[in-house]
Amino acid sequence: MATIHRARLGGFFLAFLSLGSHLLDREVGPLVWLLLGLSFLVYPHLVRAVLKRGRPSAQASLNWLCVDSGLLGVWSAALGYPLWISFTLLICHAAAVLHYMGRLATVLIVLSFVLPGMMWLGLSATALQPLTGPLTTGLCMLSLTLYLYTVSDMAFRRIIELRKASATLRVNEQALLDANAALQLQMAEVNTLQAQLREQANRDALTGLYNRRYLDSTLPRELARCERDGEALCLMLIDIDYFKKINDTLGHPAGDAVLRHLAELLTARARVADMTCRYGGEEFVVVMPGMSLATACERAEAWREDFAGTDRVVGDAPIRATLSVGIVCHARGSITAQQLIQRADQALYRAKAEGRNRVAVWDAQSPAAAS
C-alpha cells in the first residue's frame, strides 16, 4: 500500500509538471490551474486518506487506480489528446499497474483511460491538438524516462529480495529436511529400543524363552484363533524331575545349566508356529497349534528320551535329569486358557504320580480330572 502511494505521488507530480508546461503555452485561466492542482497535487493524498480509513485490499487499490486512469484520460481528452502527454500518462500508469497488479488489471486501466476520455471528447466536441511545445515534450520524455526507470528499479529490487527469500527458504528447507531425517532416525532408534524392551519384558533372562507373562497374554488369542479356524491345539506342561535336589546337592549353577539345556532342546525341535515358554521354576510350557494328539505325544517322548539320555557335566560333577510331561489337546467346544493349563497340570500330576520320567495325556475320566 505504501509503495503504491509513493508511486502515485511521484507519477502525479511528474504529470503536473508536464501538463502545467503545456497549459502555460495555452494561457488558460486560474480555474484550470486550480483544477490541475486539485487533480494532481491534492487528489493523491485524499486517496491515501480514504484507503487508510478502510480495510486495505488489492481490489480497493485496483478500484482507485482505475479512478486515477479515468482522471488522466479526461485531462488528456480535455487538452485535445496532446501526443506526448497522452502517451506518457498512459504508458507510465499502465507500466506501474502491470508491475503491481498484473496483465488483467492493466487491461482495465487502459480501458479506464480511454473510455472516459472518449466520452469527454464526444460530449465537449474538443478538437484534437496532438502537438506540444519543446519544453512540454522534454518534460514528458524526462517524466517517462524517470518513471519507467523507477518502476524498473523497484522491480529489480523485488527480484533481488525474492532471490534472497528463495535462498533463505532453500536453506531453511534443507535444515528442515535434515532435522526431519534426524528425527526419523531418532524415532527408528526409539522404536528399536521399545521393541527390545518389549522383547526383554516377554523373555526369560536365563533361558531366552518366552516367560509366563507372554504366555498369559498370548495363549487366549491363540486358543480363540484355533477355535475360530477349527484347528486342534495341544499344550505340554513339562517339569524337570527332582530339580530341587539338583540345586540342593550341586548348587544353583548346576540347576541353571540343566534349565538352559532343556530350553535349547525344546527350541531346536519346535516348529515356527509353536510357542515355548518357561512357565516358572523348572516348569516349561509348549503350545502347539494345529497339531494332533498323537504327534504331540511322539514329540514329547522324543524330548523326554533325548533329555534323559544326555549327560551334563558342571565342574567335575556329572548330572542326569529326567522329564515328566503332561499333555492336553483341545479340538472342539469352548475352553479358557486357564482351564487348558489346569488340564495339562492334571496330566503332569498323573505322570509324576506314576513314577516320573514319562508322558501322560489328560483324560476326562481320570480321578484328577474328575476332581
What is the Cα–Cα distance from 351 to 360, expressed in whole angstroms? 5
Helix (H) or strand (E) holding 289: strand 283-289
Q: Which of 289, 250, 256, 288 is nearest to 269 (CA)?
A: 288
Count CA within 13 A, CB hemisphere, residue 104: 2
Cell of 212: 509366563
Query: Which cell numbers in the block locate residue 346?
Result: 492334571
Residue 282 catalytic?
yes
How many H-runs (helices) and E-runs (strands) does the chain carry?
13, 7
Active site residue: 161, 189, 199, 282, which one? 282
> Which residues on neighbouring strands pair with residue 327, listed in sequence order?
236, 361
Measured between alpha carbons, how far is residue 266 from residues 237, 269, 276 in Å? Answer: 12, 5, 7
Nine-digit cell at 303?
A: 524330548
Rounded Cα distance between 339 and 370, Å, is 13
Contact 17, 146 (CB under 8 A): no
Distance (Å, whole) CA 23 – CA 245: 126
Q: How far is it, in rounded angstroms, from Cα 205 to Cα 89?
A: 90
Contact 1, 61 (CB under 8 A): yes
- Bridge partners, 330 (sequence order): 233
Q: What are phi and psi of 173, to 5 degrees?
A: -65, -40
Distance CA 119, CA 116 (A): 5
Q: Which residues are catalytic?
A: 282
